[in-house]
A and B are shown apart, each in its own frame.
Chain A
Amino acid sequence: MNKTLLIIKREYLSRVRKRSFILMSILGPLIMATVGITAIYLSLDEPENQHILVIDENYPLFENLDGGDLVKFDVQDISVDDAFAALKSGEYTGLLHINKKYYTNHSGSFYFKKQPSFRVQRKIEQIVQQRGEILKLGEFNISESDYKRIKTPFEMATFKFDSISNDAQETDITPGLVGFGFSILIYMFIFMYSVQVMRGVIEEKSNRVIEVIISSVKPFQLMTGKIIGIAAVGLTQFLLWTILTFTLVGGAQYALLSSKYSGNDVSRQMNMTTELKQSMAAETPEALTSMSDQNNLFTQLKRVNFPLMLGMFLFYFVGGYLLYSAMMAAVGSAVDNDTDTQQFILPITFPLLLSYVASFVIFSNPNSPIAVWMSIIPFTSPVTMMVRIAFGIESGDMWQVWLSMFLLVATFITMIWIASKVYRTGILMYGKKASFKEMIKWLKY
């Protein structure tokens, strides 16, 4: 068998078999799935009917407040103490207190035993607001039909215009979020696994197994074998995370939906967004815009080009990893133990850290000069380009992607070449205080 393959196999198997790897592979998806399942659970938990006691200190200002299907109002003119007693007795799910100053401050207090969803809270606000508006119509002598005509909702959909294809696509923040998620993942994976390369090199050096091995294989074979083997570990972990997370979330979603709701309810739940939107559109325009943001998440997610994102993730993870792990291998070869690595790790990983921080900025403005430059420079491109790609890149700017990819490949090849020169000298050096200056000298040996 080819010697490099043997090394890859050992590096891979010795890590995949480790208890920590198996634990990470299970814990990672568990944590992610818990978050996902909780989100689903919370979103399903809403339709519990709300029965709300309203203390109206301006009674009967809000008499016969109509809350529709979900919310039932019971408007009474009682003291606050009595109202709390009633809430305590269990008849009501919540208590809305609108005090005397309503006319000036337009506010009230809501007490609950179990927190209603954000959506229910908004709905209560909207119903009260609407009632307030209708009441005021009388003051200004406007008929209700006039009022409905006066109210002029305005909704603005945003489109990204592509000057080349004359095509326009609706923009949204969701793909950017997905890209952001991917860039964090890339940051994490590059960091985790390039440090593993360094640790592996240090282990071989401090174990003194290195000389035995390089008498049978070339240092370059050992270094690349280690880098590739660990990359395979990273990809395995990523694959396991993806599969396990989706299986867990999917399974839990199915279990939750089928146990809690009948089929009809499920479909109703799914359609609720549109129903709600329609019913509200007639009533209040503000509601519409605020609702569309949160409730279209699933439809927005569908618009993310996942195959492209996954492909790009793999490319930029592998490219960025090769670049950084080559540097880490050089560092590992230069030092005698883990504690000596501190002075090197910070300067080396600084661009990575910078790109992670910058990706927050890029997220809000994916085509700013800093975003463009950082996504082209190979040391920062793996993390930052993911965000830009997720937002979609104009075909006129495609050259930036190609340039970024080309530069990344060219840089990691150069870096591996340089690192192998430092490495082959470094692994045989003991007791020498390593420095960048020293490492540059080794290039010439």
Chain B
Amino acid sequence: MAAILSVTNISKSFGEFVALDNVSLAIESGSILGLLGPNGAGKTTLIRILTGITGPDSGSVNLFEHNHKVTRISYLPEERGLYKSMKVWEQALYLTQLKGLSRIEATTNLKLWFDKFQMSEWLNKPVDSLSKGMQQRLQFVITVASKPDLLILDEPFSGFDPVNADIIKNEILALSECGVTIVLSTHNMSSVEQLCTHICLVNRGKIMINNHLSEVRSQYGKNQFELTFQGSTVAFANALGHRFELVSLATKNEIHSAQIKTHGPHSANELLRALLPYVELKSLKEHSPSMNDIFLEVVNEVQLESTPHE
């Protein structure tokens, strides 16, 4: 698929601190890209470069045409606010018009979204009379009402209760079905699993993973097994030998459940062969890692690697 926005070899530093180090990324048109990474990894800087808020020190940013029109980007920042004393409707109209929509266009789009989110009674209220959740909803509406081709959302679910977070999730999926490309930056791994088609994991100014979610999963899911058994745990540990590593072990009602990692390409059959003589196996399955696991693994690996140098 064609890219809608790409950055090539971009770097950005603030004084001594290197926020992005030679990063390249192409956002596929129509995808939902999960932008992950620990705090201070360079996500916000990357997003600011994608949105054109700041420019990179070096490297290039390419925004491609979408349906032969200039691609419209809309961005919902993590640190988001509104003019407190402005009225809801005036504010929504102002911010939508600032994105380049005509007054009429902005009015039509906003009306639609205000109805959808049942916000029509608020029109003449000043923003600071709204609750935090209401303000978050208003901000989401303002972000999407400009009919963007590329929607960049930074922690869109923060401040929402589970019910409203679900509503937002569904709207994101609906927008994606309409062909909107979405970049979703969040620490909420379960929502990444629910929504994203692609993953981009940033750590210490570098991109660690950049792939389809399914690919990432199978890549990191390989060589890990979960099993339950009865019998001696000592015998079990001995049986593993040097080919398999015990990641975790828990016992409940005399049933032990263990997580096993293989060193090298060893199959489930090999594991079975090694264990069958010593313990009574109850279940065995290939472990499918959660995004959370992958995240922790990648980030911790980097930390371990770099610790001796520091």
Q: Which residues of A contact B (CB under 8 A)?
A: 1, 3, 6-7, 10, 14, 203-204, 207-217, 424, 428, 430, 441, 445
Residues of B79-138 whose CB lies within 8 A of A: 79-86, 94-95, 97-100, 102-103
What B residues does A7 contact at CB under 8 A? 98
Q: Is the CB of B77 within 8 A of A215?
A: yes
Q: Answer yes or no: B54 CB below 8 A from chain A CBs.
A: yes
Additional A-B contacts beyond A208-B81, A216-B95, A428-B53 (7; CB < 8 A): A1-B97, A207-B81, A208-B79, A208-B80, A212-B77, A212-B142, A215-B77
Instruction: Tell me the complex Cα distance, A388–B54, Å.
Output: 46
Shortest Cβ distance from A209 into chain B, in angstroms?
A: 4
A209 CA to B150 CA in the complex, in Å?
20
Q: A3-B100, A6-B97 are in contact. Are A214 and B83 (CB under 8 A)?
A: no
- Measured between beta carbons, the chain A residues less than 8 angstroms from B14 are 445
Known: A14-B85, A207-B84. A428 touches B48 (CB 8 A): yes
Known: A428-B54, A445-B14. A209 touches B81 (CB 8 A): yes
Within the complex, the shortest CB–CB distance from B299 to chain A, in Å, comes to: 24
Contact B80 A215 (CB under 8 A): no
Q: Kindly list chain A residues whose C-beta atoms are within 8 Å of the C-beta of B100.
A: 3, 216
23 contacts between A and B (CB under 8 A): A1-B97, A6-B97, A6-B98, A10-B94, A14-B83, A14-B85, A207-B81, A207-B84, A208-B77, A208-B79, A208-B80, A209-B80, A209-B81, A211-B75, A212-B139, A212-B142, A213-B98, A215-B73, A215-B77, A216-B95, A216-B98, A428-B48, A430-B79
- Does B54 lie within 8 Å of A213, measured CB to CB? no
Complex CA–CA separation, A441 to B17 (angstroms): 14
Inter-subunit contact B79/A3 (CB<8 Å): no
Residues in chain B within 8 A of chain A (CB atoms):
14-15, 48, 51-54, 73-77, 79-86, 94-95, 97-100, 102-103, 139, 142-143
Q: Is the interface of B mostly helix, strand, loop or mixed?
A: loop
**Cα-based distance from A445 to B95 in the complex (angstroms):** 27
Say which residue of B84, B99, B139 sits within 8 Å of A216 (CB atoms). B99
Q: Let me know if B53 and A214 touch, CB within 8 A.
A: yes
Is the Cβ of A441 less than 8 Å from the Cβ of B80?
A: no
Q: How far is the CA of A211 from the CA of B76 in the complex (A)?
A: 9
> Would you give the shortest CB distance from B52 to chain A, in whole angstroms?
7
Q: Once the chains bind, are B98 and A217 in contact (CB under 8 Å)? A: yes
Are B103 and A209 within 8 A (Cβ)?
no
- Smallest CB–CB gap between A433 and chain B, Å? 14
Residues of A within 8 A of B53 (CB): 211, 214-215, 428
CB atoms of A215 and B82 under 8 A apart: no
Residues of B within 8 A of A204 (CB): 83
- With both beta carbons as reference points, the residue of chain A lying nearest to B14 in the complex is identified as A445
B75 and A6 within 8 A (CB): no
A430 to B78 alpha-carbon distance, docked (Å): 13
A14 and B86 form a contact (CB under 8 A): yes
The residue in chain A whose Cβ has the minimal distance to the Cβ of B52 is: A215
- Identity of the chain B residue whose Cβ is nearest the Cβ of A222 in the assembled complex: B98
Contact B98 A3 (CB under 8 A): yes
Chain B residues within 8 Å of A212, by CB: 75-77, 80-81, 95, 139, 142-143
CA A207 – CA B95 in complex, angstroms? Answer: 14
Do B94 and A6 touch (CB < 8 A)? yes
- Bound complex: CA of A7 vs CA of B95, how far in Å? 10
B143 to chain A: closest residue by CB: A212
Cβ–Cβ < 8 Å partners of B97 in chain A? 1, 6
Measured between alpha carbons, how far is A3 from B76 in the docked complex, in Å?
A: 19
Q: What is the bound-complex CA distance between A173 and B14, given in angstroms?
A: 58
User: Bound complex: CA of A216 vs CA of B81, how far in Å?
Assistant: 15
A437 to chain B, nearest CB (A): 12
Distance in Å from the Cβ of B19 to the closest Cβ of chain A? Answer: 11
In the complex, what distance in Å separates the CA atom of A214 from the CA atom of B99?
A: 10
Neighbour of B77 across the interface among A203, A211, A441, CB < 8 A: A211
Q: Cα distance A213–B82 when bound, in Å? A: 10
A207, B81: Cα distance in complex, Å: 5
> Measured between alpha carbons, how far is A14 from B90 in the docked complex, in Å?
10
Task: Give the residues in chain A near B79, CB-CB below 8 Å.
Answer: 208, 211, 430
Which residues on the B side are within 8 Å of A424 (C-beta)?
54
